Structure 1
Amino acid sequence: MAERISNEAINRQEGYLYYVGKDGYVWQVPQRSNKSGTKKKIGNEYVQREKGFIYFVDSDGYIARAKQGRGKK
């Protein structure tokens, strides 16, 4: 189950993908079908990343994290 870790909601625009970068900020990048868009940082909220978790923007626009599945070793 994902855990919401941010207080700032991201307003999504059609034609863009959103992800939490290695720098801890949310980035907006154009999808392949969007020829006019550019990559840019969105919002001011910084996320301190921890090992063993994946970070993403959830369906409500908040940054969330979930325990990373590692499979069998």
Structure 2
Amino acid sequence: MAKKVAKVGIKKESGYLYFIDKQGDVSCAKMARGNKKGGKPKKVAKVGVKKESGFLYFIDKDGDVSCAKMVRGGKKKKATKKKAVKKVAKKKATKKKAVKKATKKKAVKKATKKKAVKKAVKKATKKKAKKR
């Protein structure tokens, strides 16, 4: 899986995060705990590892620099064939018109229902006013 890139032999201290920085050297930073912020990174050893893309570089159990190929997971996509698209412009236009007409009818029905409800409410309030 992982192969050793450089033998450094770093003794890891608990509470610190050890990593390979941009220059390819080994650095460590105090880990954040609770509300406290983490510390600034300090260089532990100058190694000068040249990093390759697609590989993960880390400090192994022995304190040496190792690298492993990154696994890019996920579900593999199946190759699909594109179907020839037929032009059906007239049918689409007629469907759109029919849909527009149907929505207009629904809107008119809703408006008439609202008007009827308003009239009924007005009549009821007038009757109550006359009784007083």
Q: Which runs of 5+ in 1 are unaligned?
A: none
Correspondence 1:4 to 2:7: no
Q: Runs in 1 of length 4+ with deviation above 3 angstroms?
A: none
2:71 aligned residue (51, 63, 69): 69
- Tell me the distance in 1 between the aligned counterparts of 2:7 and 2:63: 10
RMSD: 2.1
Point out the structure with the larger helix share: 2
Show structure 2 runs of 5+ residues with no match.
78-132
TM alignment of 1:46-65, pairs within 5 A: 46-65=48-67
Which of 1 and 2 has greater Rg?
2
Aligned length: 73
Q: Which has the higher contact order (CA 8 A, sep 6+)?
A: 1
Would you tell me which structure has more strand in proportion to its own residues?
A: 1
Q: 3-state DSSP class of the match of 1:18?
A: strand
Identity %: 40
TM-score, with normalisation over the residues of structure 2? 0.49
